[in-house]
């Protein structure tokens, strides 16, 4: 790196970052495109075959609602089964809690918590389904799937926190077009998705996840009044409390059974007041109980595991006359199947972009011709989507009004291309349907003909639905390749000047780790269990450092010539007693790193496949909240003690150090006060807790920013006075004052204090935001940072700095997984993202979520501000120009993280491009890529902070003209020191 000027290096690095960002954006928007959707809304044409679409009078759609409703009933040929719908959404409810799993009933506690619902299932008055939800399993895209039947875009997980109006065809839009009156109570996401459609509504925020009580009471308080009214056709109820219980305590929370009992009472109230009391001449009401997603063992969601995708679809009001409990509880459908089912039951067209298949069992009470007509309408809907997306598809002459063409006869085996297979399956169903209808006219139709037609329709619908669902993942390969090539530039740029000669064992190991990581990215299992790689490789690197340090320790009081030679290589001089002590201290530092790393490895089981295995955090949580709170308090006290101790190592005892220590002590004490006062409160969004959190934010921000801005101005330098008052050749006593007079050392001291201010601020902030059980990993991360900095401070300039910065990077990644993170979206901590926020803000919540998720990598990056003075003061540079000094300070701490991230980003971009048709592309590889993008943003933010701190601090001293003059004096002192030696 010495051959490149600071200006040229800066420009190239900046250009590389810009190219990488541009390429990353191209790739992301190419790989995660907005799903293709047919424009407009389904209308009367949906009741005719696709070939007849252009023949219909489009003015029919503009009819008044009551006329349009009559037209739909006439064209449909299927009498509506219901004229009122109550859609009850229980957020986060796994179907397993109600229907059991693998033929077994739910847990005894859950069965006892929902006696009324279980009685409806046992008596055949309700039919339940495991409705498989597609990832990402978060609320907003799942609601879209329920009401539109369309596959949501994967990036809808990001839009979940800033919901926009749903413009695609959906059930609520269809209900509105036929004059239905709609009421909504619950999650305000519905108001954002469907603005202006509800005649009455009472929305509640879904983001204060610690609130498990009031959030549901606010919904139920209006329910009795709404059930007594007859001025609505659709009542939407969205209960959030059960999802919040999961986020707070997981599936096994003591609050789970009471919350299920509360939901059971709501079901009982609705069923007894509307369904049981309705008379034949007053219409029929369907109660549909659904959940948007399930939850993992720890209560999170967002991934693709069975526990997260196992959502509920419960029809209450459909009598199926089936006494076998298992037959009404173990059926499995897809969540997108709900939309076409409800559309056909309620007499509206199927939404235009629905890829769902009607749930056949819900139509068992209809006549045979009505059931076949429903299958036919569903088939036409999917056929329209196929014709729009498959340019090569041609299904021959499809009749307009029905499939009664006498020329259509006989079925055939379906094979060949996807276009031919789908056409063949549809035509087979059409032929069998036509045959059954023709025999019905002559009254000679048989049950076998009917069954064959049903089976043919079912096969076409399932095949078409699967293809249409998978087609949503088609990607523009050319755009992806161009974006990938741009994102590679930064990686090449960041490593063009590395010295590849004379590598030692630890240097070779770092390169090997990078290669192993790149190779492991091609395996879905290794992506799921990536934490094993980081923990193992980080521990191994520390052991290599321990081995190298142990080789330098003497076995006796008299050192051999070989030992002196080794220690001279290590320290630059013959090993003195003081230097021997430092070597032993290095050994102790490595032991601390290894021990802390092992404890953090066992704190969270992590990953995907073995999260059910015991770990330290589970043991502590089972011990009780009092133990967890005690550990939090002890960890908070130790964090501030270690931070103050690190500041006490500051060699120049300035008056501002007590002020710095006192400010952060106040912040830490406020955090401990919040833990004591509000930790066990069910509503952590109360005014007192929110206000206290806001005070903590303010104190931390004022303290940290104040130190950054003012500290360089509080470091007076008296170089000119020292140069005139002392003869550097007069006595050796002057040499002992080198560290007090060199401006380079004053710059070092400023960076040291600012760096520890950053670290303390970050740790205190994490104690506030992280899950209570994560207070110990935060403490251990701080201890590891202290230990590794002390180790590097004694290491001298012999070890390549890029190896040391890489070791810090590895430490940050291992800490990321030690805090309970993984490569699934389910481990993102949503609860902490709303601490201290009185009103929902997408930006603020997003920032807090980013801070929580990337706590460990960001802590390591801001520790680079401490790393700069730890390494740079040991040798005064021969060149004294500003560019050289800045390049020396900032080169490795900034470029090495950028380079490492660029290598991994480029490699995984290529992997994702190659795996775009893989079975696990959406469940494993895509979530991992979102994390990689998040890490890239984290690196940019951290490196920018380090660079800004270094440049600002240096510019203050350079602006006073002290760096240039001071280095001349310091250099003469060092030369004189060598003469004395």
Residues 6+ apart with CB under 8 A from 490: 16, 17, 19, 20, 898, 899, 902, 906
Sheet holding 310-316, edge to edge: 200-204, 182-187, 234-239, 84-90, 285-290, 310-316, 126-132, 331-334
Burial level of 666, CB count in 10 A (0-12/13-18/19+)? middle
Backbone φ, ψ for residue 142 (5° rounding):
-70, -40
**Three-state SS at 371:** helix
* Mean pLDDT comparison of 161-165, 521-525, 935-939, highest-scoring range: 935-939
Question: What is the spatial distance between Cα 297 and Cα 251, in angstroms, rounded to a whole number?
Answer: 5
Please answer whether residues 823 and 530 qualify as being in contact, where contact means their C-beta atoms are separated by less than 8 angstroms. Answer: yes
| pLDDT tens-digit map of 683-732 | 445 678 888 989 999 999 999 999 888 888 876 544 434 444 444 343 33
**pLDDT(515) > 80:** yes
Give the model's confidence band at 738: pLDDT under 50 very low, under 70 low, under 90 confident, else very high. Answer: very low
| pLDDT tens-digit map of 262-302 | 999 999 999 998 887 765 444 588 999 999 999 888 788 87
Give the model's confidence band at 38: pLDDT under 50 very low, under 70 low, under 90 confident, else very high. Answer: confident
Q: How crowded is residue 20: how many other Cβ atoms within 10 Å of its Cβ?
A: 25
Angle, vertex CA 212, rays to CA 209 and CA 214, nearest 5: 110
**pLDDT(763) > 90:** yes
pLDDT score for 268: 94
Backbone φ, ψ for residue 354 (5° rounding):
-70, 130
> Which of 795-799, 800-804, 920-924 shows the lowest per-residue confidence on average (mean pLDDT)?
795-799
Within 13 Å, how many C-alpha atoms sit on residue 614's CB side? 4
User: Cα–chain-centroid distance for residue 207?
Assistant: 15
Within 13 Å, how many C-alpha atoms sit on residue 124's CB side? 8
Instruction: Provide the token pair at 731.
Output: 């006595």
**pLDDT(55) > 50:** no
pLDDT score for 379: 92
Residues 6+ apart with CB under 8 A from 978: none
**pLDDT(839) > 80:** no
- The string of DSSP letters for 290-341 reads E-S----TTS--SS-SHHHHEEEEEEES-------TGGGTSEEEEGGGHHHH
> Which of 79-88, 175-184, 299-308, 419-428 shows the lowest per-residue confidence on average (mean pLDDT)?
299-308
Give the model's confidence band at 239: pLDDT under 50 very low, under 70 low, under 90 confident, else very high. Answer: very high
Q: What is the mean pLDDT of residues 598-615?
A: 82
| pLDDT tens-digit map of 552-603 | 665 544 444 554 554 444 444 444 566 666 777 778 888 899 999 999 999 9
Q: Looking at per-residue confidence, does 745 or 905 come out higher?
A: 905
Question: What is the spatial distance between Cα 290 and Cα 219, in angstroms, rounded to a whole number?
Answer: 16
Q: What is the mean pLDDT of residues 639-649?
A: 85
Within 13 Å, how many C-alpha atoms sit on residue 558's CB side? 0
| pLDDT tens-digit map of 843-867 | 888 899 999 999 999 999 999 998 8
pLDDT score for 158: 57
Angle, vertex CA 365, rays to CA 77 and CA 126, nearest 5: 125
Backbone φ, ψ for residue 285 (5° rounding):
-115, 135
Q: Indicate if the alpha-carbon torsion angle 310, 316, 318, 319 is positive or negative.
A: positive
pLDDT score for 959: 58
What letter does residue 34 receive in the DSSP assignment? P
Q: Looking at per-residue confidence, does 261 or 522 come out higher?
A: 261
**pLDDT(933) > 80:** yes
Backbone φ, ψ for residue 899 (5° rounding):
-65, -45
pLDDT score for 727: 43
pLDDT score for 485: 56
The mean pLDDT value of the chain amounts to: 79
Q: What is the mean pLDDT of residues 15-41?
A: 71
User: Cα–chain-centroid distance for residue 836?
Assistant: 21
pLDDT score for 409: 53
Q: Which of 123, 114, 232 is nearest to 181 (CA)?
A: 232
Helix axis angle, 368-389 to 418-441, nearest 10°:
160
Question: What is the spatial distance between Cα 203 and Cα 218, in angstroms, rounded to a whole number?
Answer: 9
pLDDT score for 520: 87
Give the model's confidence band at 833: pLDDT under 50 very low, under 70 low, under 90 confident, else very high. Answer: confident
Q: How crowded is residue 269: how many other Cβ atoms within 10 Å of its Cβ?
A: 15
Please answer whether residues 623 and 681 qualify as being in contact, where contact means their C-beta atoms are separated by less than 8 angstroms. Answer: no
Question: What is the spatial distance between Cα 704 and Cα 698, in angstroms, rounded to a whole number?
Answer: 10
**pLDDT(972) > 60:** no
- The string of DSSP letters for 37-57 reads ---S---GGGGS-GGGGGGS-
- Max CA pair span of the chain: 125
pLDDT score for 481: 54
| pLDDT tens-digit map of 292-340 | 999 888 788 877 788 888 999 999 988 665 555 555 556 889 999 999 9
Angle, vertex CA 797, rays to CA 791 and CA 799, nearest 5: 70
> Which of 188-202, 509-523, 600-614 shows the lowest per-residue confidence on average (mean pLDDT)?
600-614
């Amino acid at each position: 790196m010495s051959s490149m000027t600071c200006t040229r290096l800066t420009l190239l690095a900046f250009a590389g970052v810009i190219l990488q960002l541009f390429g990353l954006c191209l790739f992301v928007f190419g790989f995660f495109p907005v799903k293709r959707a047919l424009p407009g809304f389904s209308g009367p044409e949906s009741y005719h075959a696709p070939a007849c679409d252009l023949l219909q009078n489009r003015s029919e759609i503009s009819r008044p609602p009551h006329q349009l409703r009559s037209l739909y009933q006439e064209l449909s040929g299927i009498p509506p089964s219901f004229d009122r719908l109550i859609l009850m959404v229980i957020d986060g409810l796994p179907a397993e809690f109600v229907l059991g799993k693998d033929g077994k009933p739910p847990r005894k506690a859950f069965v006892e918590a929902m006696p009324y619902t279980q009685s409806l299932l046992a008596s055949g008055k309700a039919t339940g389904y495991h409705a498989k939800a597609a990832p990402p399993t978060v609320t907003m895209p799942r609601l879209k799937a329920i009401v539109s039947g369309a596959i949501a875009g994967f990036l809808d997980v990001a839009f979940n926190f800033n919901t926009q109006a749903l413009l695609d065809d959906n059930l609520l839009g269809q209900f509105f077009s036929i004059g239905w009156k709609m009421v909504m109570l619950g999650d305000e996401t519905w108001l954002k998705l469907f603005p202006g459609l509800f005649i009455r509504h009472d929305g509640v925020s879904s983001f204060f996840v610690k609130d498990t009580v009031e959030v549901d009471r606010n919904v139920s308080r209006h329910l009795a009044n709404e059930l007594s009214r007859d001025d609505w056709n659709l009542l939407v109820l969205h209960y959030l409390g059960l999802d919040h219980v999961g986020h707070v305590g997981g599936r096994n929370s003591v609050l789970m059974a009471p919350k299920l009992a509360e939901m059971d009472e709501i079901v009982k109230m609705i069923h007894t007041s509307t369904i049981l009391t309705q008379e034949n001449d007053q219409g029929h009401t369907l109660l549909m109980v659904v959940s948007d997603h399930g939850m993992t063992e720890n209560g999170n969601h967002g991934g693709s595991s069975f526990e997260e995708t196992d959502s509920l679809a419960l029809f209450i009001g459909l009598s199926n006359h089936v006494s076998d409990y298992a037959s009404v509880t173990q059926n499995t459908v897809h969540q997108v199947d709900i939309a076409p089912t409800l559309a056909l039951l309620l007499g509206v067209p199927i939404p235009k972009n629905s890829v769902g298949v009607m749930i056949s069992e819900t139509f068992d009470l209809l006549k045979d011709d009505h059931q076949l007509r429903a299958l036919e309408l569903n088939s036409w809907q999917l056929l329209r989507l196929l014709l729009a997306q498959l340019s090569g598809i041609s299904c021959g002459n499809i009749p307009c009004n029905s499939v009664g063409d006498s020329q259509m006869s006989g079925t055939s085996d379906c094979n060949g291309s996807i276009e031919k297979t789908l056409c063949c399956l549809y035509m087979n169903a059409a032929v069998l349907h036509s045959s059954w209808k023709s025999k019905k006219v002559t009254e000679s139709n048989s049950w076998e003909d009917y069954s064959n037609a049903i089976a043919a329709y079912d096969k076409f619908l399932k095949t078409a639905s699967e293809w249409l669902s998978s087609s949503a993942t088609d990607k523009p390969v050319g755009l992806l390749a161009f974006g990938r090539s741009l994102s590679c530039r930064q990686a090449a740029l960041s490593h063009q000047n590395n010295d590849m000669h004379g590598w030692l064992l630890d240097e070779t190991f770092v390169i090997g780790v990078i290669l192993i990581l790149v190779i492991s990215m091609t395996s879905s299992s290794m992506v799921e269990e990536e934490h094993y790689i980081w923990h193992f490789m980080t521990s191994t690197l520390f052991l290599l450092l321990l081995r190298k340090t142990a080789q330098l320790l003497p076995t006796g009081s008299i050192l051999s010539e070989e030992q002196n030679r080794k220690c001279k290589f290590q320290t630059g001089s013959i090993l003195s007693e003081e230097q021997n002590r430092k070597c032993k201290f290095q050994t102790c530092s490595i032991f601390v790193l290894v021990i802390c790393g092992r404890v953090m490895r066992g704190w969270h089981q992590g990953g995907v496949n073995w999260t059910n295995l015991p770990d330290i955090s589970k043991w502590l949580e089972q011990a009780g909240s009092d133990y967890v709170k005690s550990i939090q308090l002890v960890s908070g006290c130790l964090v501030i003690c270690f931070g103050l101790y690190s500041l006490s190592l500051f060699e120049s005892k300035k008056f501002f150090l007590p002020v710095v220590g006192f400010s952060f002590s106040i912040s830490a004490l406020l955090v401990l006060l919040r833990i004591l006062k509000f930790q066990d409160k069910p509503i952590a969004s109360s005014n007192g807790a929110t206000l206290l959190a806001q005070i903590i934010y303010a104190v931390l921000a004022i303290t940290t920013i104040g130190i950054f801005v003012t500290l360089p101005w509080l470091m007076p330098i008296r170089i000119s006075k020292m140069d005139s008052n002392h003869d550097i050749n007069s006595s050796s006593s002057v040499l002992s004052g080198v560290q007090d007079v060199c401006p380079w050392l004053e710059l070092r001291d400023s960076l040291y204090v600012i760096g520890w201010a950053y670290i303390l601020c970050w740790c205190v902030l994490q104690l506030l935001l992280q899950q209570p059980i994560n207070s110990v990993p935060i403490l251990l991360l701080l201890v590891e940072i202290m230990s590794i900095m002390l180790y590097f401070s004694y290491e001298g300039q012999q070890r390549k700095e890029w190896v040391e910065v890489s070791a810090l990077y590895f430490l940050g990644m291992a800490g990321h997984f030690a805090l309970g993170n993984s490569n699934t979206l389910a481990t993102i901590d949503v609860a902490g993202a709303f601490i201290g926020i009185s009103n929902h803000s997408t930006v603020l919540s997003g920032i807090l979520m980013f801070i929580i998720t990337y706590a460990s990598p960001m802590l390591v990056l801001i520790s680079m501000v401490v790393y700069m003075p730890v390494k740079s003061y040991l040798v005064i540079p021969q060149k004294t120009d500003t560019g050289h000094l800045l390049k020396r300070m900032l080169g490795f701490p900034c470029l090495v993280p950028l380079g490492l991230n660029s290598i991994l980003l480029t490699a995984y971009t290529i992997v994702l491009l190659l795996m775009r048709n893989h079975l696990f592309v959406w469940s494993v590889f895509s979530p991992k890529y979102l994390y990689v993008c998040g890490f890239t943003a984290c690196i940019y933010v951290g490196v920018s902070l380090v660079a800004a701190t270094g440049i600002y601090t240096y510019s203050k001293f350079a602006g006073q003209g002290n760096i240039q003059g001071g280095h001349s004096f310091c250099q003469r002192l060092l030369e004189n020191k060598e003469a004395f030696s």
